[in-house]
Amino acid sequence: MDNMEEDEDKKSKRKQLGLSCMLNTEVGAVLAVIRQPNPGMYHHHLHHHPDDNYDASVLQSLKSLRALLFNPQQEWRMTDPSVYVSPFLDVIQSDDIPATATAVALQSVLKILRLGMFDEKTPGARDVINSAVTAITGCRLEKTNPVAEDAVMMRILHVLTAIMRHRASVLLTDQSVCIVVNTCFQVVRQSANRGDLLQRTARYTMHELVQIIYSRFPDIEVKDWENSESDTEEDGYMESGYGIGSAIDIFHFLCSLMNVMDIVESDGMSYPATDENTKVFALYLINSCIELSGDSIGKHPKLLRMIQDDLFHHLIYYGVSSSPLILSMISSTVLNLYHFLRRSIRLQLEAFFSFVLLRVAFPGSPFGLQEVAVEAMINFCRQPCFITEAYVNYDCDPTFRNVFEEVCKVLCKYAFPTGALLTSIQVQAFEGLAIIFHYIADRIDKDEDDEEDKEGSKSRSCGPYPVEITEYRPFWEEQPKGEDINSWIDYVRVRKVQKRKILIAGSHYNRDDRKGLEYLKITKLISDPPNAKAYAYFFRYTPKLDKTTIGEFLGDPDVFHVQVLKEFTNTFEFTGMNLDSSLRTYLESFRLPGESQKIQRVVEAFSDRFYDQQSSDLFASKDAVMIFCYSIIMLNTDQHNPQVKKRMTEEDFIKNNRSINGGNDLPREYLCELFQSISTNALSLDDSAGPVVEMNPNRWVQLINRSKIMQPFILCDFDRSLGRDMFAAIAGPSVATVAAVFEHCDEEEVLHECIEALFSIARIAQYGLEDTLDELLCSFCKFTTLLNPYASAEETLYAFSHDMKPKMAILAVFNIANAFKDSIKGGWRTIIDCLLKLKRLKLLPQSVMETENPSSNSEQSKNPGMNTKFGNLMSMESVEEALNLGLSEFEQNMAIIQQCRIGSIFSTSLTLPEDSLLNLGRCIIFAAAGKGQKFSTPVEEEETVGFCWELISSMALANAHRLSTFWPYYHEYLLEVSQFPLFSPIPFSEKAIISLMKMCLKLLASDQMEGSEELIFKSIILMWRMEKEILDTCCEFLLHSASRMITEYPSKLHTHLGWMSVLHLLSSTGRHPETYDHGVETLLQLMSDRNNITRTNYTYCIDCAFAFVALRNSRVEKNVKIMDLLAESATLLVEWYKGGYSDPGSSIGSNGGSTLIEESSRIYNPISFFQRLGESLKKTSLARREEVRNHAVASLERSFILAEELLATPTSCINSFYNVIFAMVDDLHEKMLQYSRRENAERETRSMEGTLKIAMQVLADMYLLFLKPISESNNFRTFWLGILRRMDTCMKAELGEYGESKLPDVIPDLLRKMVMSMKEKEILKITGEDDLWETTFYQIQWIAPALTDDLFPEGINAS
Q: Which three-class secondary structure state does DSSP give residue 1359?
A: coil
Q: Which residues contact 204 (CB under 8 A, 6 or more apart)?
A: none
Of the residues 6, 75, 221, 595, only one is catalytic, namely 595
User: Which string of b and e fits 905-939 if b means at least 16 CB within 10 Å?
Assistant: bbbbbebbeeebbbbbbbbbbbbbbbeebeeeeee
CA 471 from centre of chain: 26
Question: Can you give the C-alpha Rg of the chain in angstroms?
Answer: 54
User: Can you state the percent helix, strand and coil of the chain, rounding each to 5?
Assistant: 70, 0, 30
Contacts of 251 (CB under 8 A, 6+ apart): 286, 289, 303, 306, 307, 311
Give residues with Cβ within 8 angstroms of 744, minimum separation 6.
417, 419, 420, 422
**Residue 1256: which of 1300, 1207, 1208, 1309 has the closest Cα?**
1309
Q: Which amino acid is at 1290?
A: C
> 692 Cβ partners below 8 Å, 6+ apart?
354, 355, 699
Under 8 Å between Cβ of 377 and 403: no
Calpha distance 687→588 (Å, rounded): 9
In the chain, what's the furthest Cα-to-Cα distance? 205
Q: Under 8 Å CB-to-CB from 299, ≥6 apart: which residues? A: 222
C-beta separation of 924 from 833 below 8 A: no
d(C-alpha 1164, C-alpha 1174), whole Å:
16
The full DSSP string for 839-854 is HHTT-S-TTTT----H
Reported as type and span, the H/E element at residue 568 is: helix 559-570
Q: How far apart are CA 1036 and CA 1122, in angstroms?
A: 22
Q: Measured between alpha carbons, how far is 409 from 707 in angstroms, rounded to an integer?
A: 27
How is residue 969 annotated by DSSP? H
The DSSP secondary structure of 384-436, one letter per residue, reads TTHHHHHIIIIIT-TTS--HHHHHHHHHHHHHS--SSS--HHHHHHHHHHHHH
The answer to whether 276 and 322 have CB atoms below 8 angstroms apart is: yes
Is residue 595 annotated as a catalytic residue, yes or no?
Answer: yes
What is the Cα 1190 distance to its own chain's centre? 77
What is the distance between the terminal CA atoms of the chain, rounded to a whole angstrom? 172
**Cis preceding-peptide flag for 529 (omega within 30 of 0):** yes
The full DSSP string for 22-67 is HHHHHHHHHHHHHHSPPHHHHHH-TT--GGGGS-HHHHHHHHHHHH
Q: Answer for the pair 404, 726: CB distance below 8 angstroms, yes or no.
A: yes
Nearest to 121 by CA among 165, 180, 74, 79: 79
3-class SS string, 85-124: HHHHHHHHHCCCCCHHHHHHHHHHHHHHHHHCCCCCCCCC
- The neighbour count for residue 565, using CB atoms within 10 Å, is 24
CB 469 within 8 A of CB 524: yes
Q: Is 1197 exposed, middle or buried (0-12, 13-18, 19+ CB in 10 A)?
A: buried
Identify the CA nearest to 892 among candidates 1030, 1038, 884: 884
Tell me phi and psi for residue 363, to 5 degrees: -55, 140
The helix/strand/coil state of 76 is helix
Residues designated catalytic: 595
